[in-house]
Chains A and B, each alone.
Chain A
Amino acid sequence: MTDAATTPPVDLDLRRRDAAAALAAEPNRLVVRGIIDRAAPRRFQWEGRELKGYAGDTLASALIASGVRTVARGFKYHRPRGVMSAGVEEGGAIVAVGEGDRRIANINAATQELYEGLAAFGQNAWPSVSWDAARVNDRLGRFLGAGFYYKTFFSFTPNTPDGTGHWMLFERAIRAAAGMGKASREPDPDQYEAAHAHCDMLVVGSGPAGLEAARVAAEAGLDVILAEQDFELGGRLLAEAAEIDSAAPGDWRDQRLAALRAAGVRIMLRTTVFGLYDGGVAGMMERVAHSPEPHQVRERFWTVRADRIVLATGAIERGLAFGENDRPGVMTAGAAQAYVNRFGVAPGRRAVVATTHDGGLGAAADLAAAGLEVAILDARTGVAREIGDTPSGLGAAVSHLAGAAPLRTLGRARALGDVGDVMFGDGGVAALEIALDTDRGWRVADRIECDMVAVSGGWSPVVNLLSHRGVKPVWDTERLCFLPGETSEPIEVCGAAAGVWEAGACAASGRNAVARLLGRTEEEAPLRRASASPPREMYEVRAPGRKLKSFIDPQHDVTTEDVRQAACEGYVSVEHLKRYTTLGMATDQGKNGNILGLAVMAEALKREIPEVGTTTFRPPYTPVSLGVLAGRSRGKHFKPKRRTPLHAWSLAQGAVMTDAGLWRRSWYFPHAMEGLDDAYIREAAAVRASVGLCDVTSLGKISVQGPDAGEFLNRVYVNGMAKLPVGKARYGVMLRDDGLVFDDGAVWRLGETDYLVTTTTAGAGKVMSWLEELSQTRWPELRVALSSVTDRWAGVAVAGPQARNLLTALVEDVDFEDAAFPFMGVRAGRLKGGEIECWLARLSFSGELAYEIYVESDHAPALMDVLWEGAKALGGVLYGTEALGALRIEKGHVAGPELDGRTTLADLGLGAMGSTKKPYLGAALAQREVLADAGRQRLVGLTPLEEGAQFKAGSILCRVPLGESPSGHGVGWVSSVTYSPALGHWIGLGFIEGGIEKAATRKAEEAIIAADPVRGAETRVRVVSPHFIDPEGARMRPEADPAPGADLSTINVRPSRRSAFGTLWLDGLDNRAADDPNARRVVGRVELDDPEDPVSDAQDAAVWLVEERPRPLWRVEAWPGRRAAVEGLLRELSGGAAPAYGRTEIGEDEIELSRAGPLSWRVLGLGPEGGERLAMMDAEDGAALELSHAEVAVRIGGREAATLLNRFLPLDLRDASFPEGSTAITGFHHTPVTLDRLSGASIPPTYRLWVPRSYAWSLWGLLRESAAQWRG
């Protein structure tokens, strides 16, 4: 920059420089200009050719330097295209970048930073952009106007039944010819991630206005983020040589940057603010690495929440519409200036600068200063300027013509007097036809030989981001552009984005913007007037009798004639214009041609531009990759996966896992050579013969506590819950408001005010939400505390005739005699040895004598070890979800496939459960006629008529006359199917109109067929009762148990092997051994020697993570009005103060008391006596629940700890917002988590992240993957 600004023009001898540059294979590189780093050459490939540029180049500038003129082919006519701009508005140089799985199509070469090894390719051309076979389309141009293919190809197929098929065929061929670039079809190999930030002020753009706004805001004490989409700060300061505030632009910029850094502004380069949203939220994309290492990310998606926003987004220069204004060599004047001053490349030798305003003259001066021959065409008449008036004291290389404009470019062959045009030669500009303004309009005047045309038709402020906020831009008749409209949000627009053109005035407007945002309007300073001579309003150059191809949207090949044709055909609304011509629908989204298109339309309609309208800009401002939108939520992290505490244990037993919602569950446990069918049939049969064990931890478990818990449940369930005695469980069904079945499960009454509700695996989350909604919004008078305890308890179903024998041998303190522990009984006990407490409920999903046994999650492996040792001795099995399903279908129990949100109680055969003695939720609407109709599809059992026949779930049930094929929608469907080991054939559950009663009246000549047209099967079935085995339930209540047949007395409980950090949730991590120390710690740069003391061990680590040693954790809630009483108890137990909202207070013995809500707290580290006191707290005050095993605490430290956390958590972690002792609840990958910032003045801060136990493996994996970026 300083070179260009301070050194007098020394590039004047073109021939001398050409000789030197040609040696360097960069014929167009200027010797001293530009801020590229000449000490850092960058090799790259263009269509297979090895070329060279420098750090600081864009792909476009490097191509220009190397003399590559044609870099693309037009979308429709395949005309050659060159670089037309130096920014996001590029319409010509659209290329493909990268090879193999990293190939990305439609990259803007004018903004693509050059890097070592970049490989770029032309697109839209075959075999190459310099010789494209399809350029014949240009000759057919008059057939290919707007809307041509709809008109043309639809008409081939009028009203034919298969017209669509023909159209599709044509469309495919057209798309191939008109296609955009081709993306890779391989999976994206790179990582992307999200990130969150908060700031007092976001400044978008780093030109003079943005730099000044950021500086004065930061110096006023604000926390400022400055985002710049370029890889260099400075905006137009980089491109223009004119002085700003009497300083060279480079010097001015460097001073401001030093001030910004001193004031602590967070500067984000290569970061595009692509959208503005409600509440000061900005969506930003940061390009982190061009070809990242495996542990690095390629791009980052920032969500920034800013209290105030300054938009210093600059302006985009527009061209003029004139004949063949798309040839390589035609570019905007400001772009030519940028190539010369910033990149040190000459886009040509003999330049024509065509302008409608003073701004173009500065560009002409800079080109001349760089040694180019310059002819100025100033469209304004009466601007009799002497050459000496132009800014830099130009020499004889510049000529100046007033009242002149470009009419048509000519290619090399034509210029030589031959017949050729773009069909031959490189198609680049070789000459320009000039028109002169006369009193009869533009008239052809002359022809100048030139190799580039730099055009300026004025500047259009970038109002896009404010448009995202719904603020309509306003046409300014003086400055001839749309200016940002008024907004009531704390957003200010300044600099060229606000129509301020001169650099010094831009800087002042940046300062004014901050003054307005801070309410210091007295500090606003008046802006200097920019333009001495007014601009001429002009968008197109036409001369009578000349048919010209004048492009306004080169990327989509839209010409002025297309717009006039649209007007002629009645597409006069700007929205219709856009869709009919596709104007502004290319990757630049109208940055290029929008104003020209509006102007041509306005002229055609004889209206003013603002009457024609503006299009509403929508995010994203520039293209955003799909990868960065997905972030880390792809592949195995697409959704979090939940693991039960028996995950590793089950894998060690050979379990094959399956997905059940977010859960990973054991599907089946194959013996050698067994497949799924063999295994589940064996498992189900063994359950009925002896005993089986099944991990049922994933069933939803909700704790319902409080004096009104019974009444609450009584209103929710269709059956009576009010009189459920302590120590009993009851099966229950709940309805939605609309009377349809919502979910089912069991209610266990554990104590007077203490219930446990189980739900289906899939229903857990929605039932919890629903109960909370009811309790908080509909029945606030009921005092109930609701907590999910799914992760607290591990559950195992013990089912089969030997179940009681097994448990009797292994559980103490429980009398298993039938009378003492009847069916649906609930008991608390201890595993043999007395150390591990458990809950037992005598429930049966399988129809066998069965129990569910729950222990705190840490103890799950210990429980399963002894159960399995005993079960094996009894000839029992481990069974998975497939056998579980087979057993319940045999028994006719409904599950997910039947509870599909469309069924009523009666449909499920549970009509009798609905209480007639009490009102319950859903009862009113369940009585609607349509739901009470006896003809509804109701639950039945199905068996194949033919022996050994099989049918599939999802089949349609059709009732057809014998011998006929099924058709139509049928009379029902099949919901669940299994092979029944008990019956020796396939059985199913399904729904059929009128249920079994109607099926029983079936006419003899009718058949019921399970039709599966998709998979091509039809099976005749018989409708039977859904209770296939033991409808009386005798097996669940056997008179006597079989003899054990094995001595179980020698089995002893071994407490679960606990790692240094207590829990075993990392077991099975990538199938590693639990005691692999690396499985549970990761650091950015150092390996931990002493995981017990990570802080002293990892002082210098960028980030370290370690699982915390578990301590007792309680959740306590107070009823409204009882806060003081509960706080009193908590203060007494902790020995510390009561915490305010979002705070933690530390009491005696490092007991931590945290606020978790207006009326809820978390207590960490309470001893057994304190726990006992909480458990016994007065139910009239509130409720307490131990959750020690439900959550895992991960300690996170190192200087990048907050950065890592903000990759996932949307919290404001700045010191002022989240000081030591803060605690907050938020979401992490859809999962609720709690974050504490630990007290103890650690610098950098140390955090503790609480995650639900079952999600810990998934979330830990995400943290580790992201933390890896600080390696090395």
Chain B
Amino acid sequence: MLRIPCPYCGPRDHAEFDYGGDATVVWPALDDTTEAWVEALYFRDDPKGPHRELWRHARGCRLWLIVERDTVTHEISAAHPAHPGMADEVTAQSQAETPSA
């Protein structure tokens, strides 16, 4: 059982999430070549150590998250929304909550 720190909902059991695969894939444009799509879809690294993964908080806020997880220790060091605009909102929120020094 992993505990994933959802940036909106707080720490939750991984049972609330669906795994979404490798977050480091750069998807080609829709009109890119078949070769580029084959590369993106079928060829994946399997890193030992820190990795970026997509998780969807499916039974929660439904945000897609980029989760930084160590594939050896399972330690999760960070999680933020995959949507950059949403990530900006979360950052702005946490800055608003942190009293300035």
Contacts and interface: CB of A to CB of B under 8 A. Distances in A.
Interface string B74-99: 10000001111110111001000000
Contacts of B56: 769, 772-773
A776 interface: yes
A1119 interface: yes
Most buried by A among B2, B20, B85, B89: B85
Contacts of B2: 278-279
Nearest to A1155: B8
B59 A1121 contact: no
Nearest to A1141: B8
A517 interface: no
A996 to B, nearest CB: 28
Contacts of B100: none
Interface in A332-346: none
Contacts of B82: 776-777, 780
Most buried by B among A279, A281, A1158: A1158
Interface string A81-99: 0000000000000000000
A924 interface: yes
Contact of B83 (A280, A780, A921): A780
Interface in A745-781: 769, 772-773, 775-778, 780
B30 A1232 contact: no
A1123 to B, nearest CB: 6
Contacts of B41: 737-738, 925
A1159 B8 CA distance: 10
Interface in B42-101: 54, 56, 58-64, 74, 81-86, 88-90, 93
B28 to A, nearest CB: 7
16 contacts: A278-B2, A279-B11, A281-B1, A737-B41, A769-B56, A777-B23, A778-B27, A780-B85, A924-B30, A925-B41, A928-B38, A1121-B85, A1142-B10, A1225-B62, A1227-B60, A1232-B60
Given A777-B64, A923-B31, 18 more contacts: A278-B2, A305-B3, A773-B54, A776-B82, A776-B83, A776-B86, A924-B37, A928-B38, A1120-B88, A1121-B88, A1157-B8, A1158-B86, A1159-B86, A1210-B16, A1225-B60, A1226-B9, A1232-B59, A1232-B60
Given A1225-B60, A1226-B12, A1227-B16, A920 B54 contact: no
Given A715-B30, A773-B20, A1230-B59, A279 B86 contact: no
Contacts of B8: 1141-1142, 1157-1158
Contacts, number: 130
Interface of B: 1-3, 7-13, 15-16, 18, 20, 23, 27-34, 36-38, 41, 54, 56, 58-64, 74, 81-86, 88-90, 93
A737 B37 contact: yes
Interface string A711-740: 000010000000000000000000001100
Contact of A278 (B3, B10, B59, B93): B3
Interface in A1151-1190: 1156-1159
Nearest to B61: A1157
A303 interface: yes
A921 B15 CA distance: 30
B39 to A, nearest CB: 11
A1141 B32 CA distance: 40
A1223 to B, nearest CB: 10
A919 B82 CA distance: 24
Interface string A1217-1228: 000000011110
Nearest to B5: A279
Interface string A927-938: 110000000000
A829 B34 CA distance: 47
A415 to B, nearest CB: 55
Contact of B64 (A772, A1224, A1230): A772
Main SS at interface, chain A = mixed
B56 to A, nearest CB: 7
A925 B37 contact: yes
Contacts of B85: 780, 1119-1121
B83 A1120 contact: yes
A1210 B12 contact: yes
Nearest to A928: B34
A1141 B1 CA distance: 25
A277 interface: yes
A61 B41 CA distance: 64
Contact of B9 (A305, A772, A1142, A1230): A1142
A1224 B9 contact: yes
B64 to A, nearest CB: 4
B61 A1156 contact: yes
Most buried by A among B23, B29, B62: B62
B30 A919 contact: yes
Interface of A: 277-281, 283, 303, 305, 715, 737-738, 769, 772-773, 775-778, 780, 919-921, 923-925, 927-928, 1119-1121, 1123, 1141-1142, 1156-1159, 1210, 1224-1227, 1230-1232
Given A737-B37, A776-B81, A1232-B59, A1210 B13 contact: yes
A827 B32 CA distance: 39
B88 A776 contact: no
Given A776-B83, A780-B84, A1227-B16, A924 B1 contact: no
Given A281-B1, A303-B1, A919 B29 contact: yes
A780 B86 CA distance: 9
A773 B56 CA distance: 8
B47 to A, nearest CB: 19
Most buried by B among A279, A773, A1230: A279
A468 to B, nearest CB: 11
Given A780-B85, A1158-B90, A1226-B60, A281 B13 contact: yes
A279 B1 contact: yes
Contacts of A1224: 9
Contacts of B23: 777
Contact of A920 (B1, B13, B20, B30): B30
B93 A1227 contact: no
Contact of B3 (A281, A1121, A1230): A281
A531 B30 CA distance: 74
B28 A1157 contact: no
B18 A769 contact: yes
Contacts of A1225: 9, 59-62
B3 A776 contact: no
B19 to A, nearest CB: 12
A1145 to B, nearest CB: 16
B12 A278 contact: no
Contacts of B16: 1210, 1226-1227
Contact of A777 (B1, B33, B83): B83
Given A281-B1, A778-B27, A924 B12 contact: no
Most buried by A among B8, B10, B38, B56: B8
Contacts of B34: 924-925, 927-928
Contacts of A277: 1
A769 B53 CA distance: 16
A1237 to B, nearest CB: 15
Contacts of B83: 775-777, 780, 1120
A302 to B, nearest CB: 12
B64 A776 contact: yes
A447 to B, nearest CB: 56
Nearest to A773: B64
A286 to B, nearest CB: 18
A769 B41 CA distance: 18
A1181 to B, nearest CB: 14
A1227 B6 CA distance: 14
Most buried by B among A1157, A1210, A1224: A1157
A1120 B81 CA distance: 12
Nearest to A786: B62
Contacts of A737: 37, 41
Contact of B33 (A303, A715, A924): A924
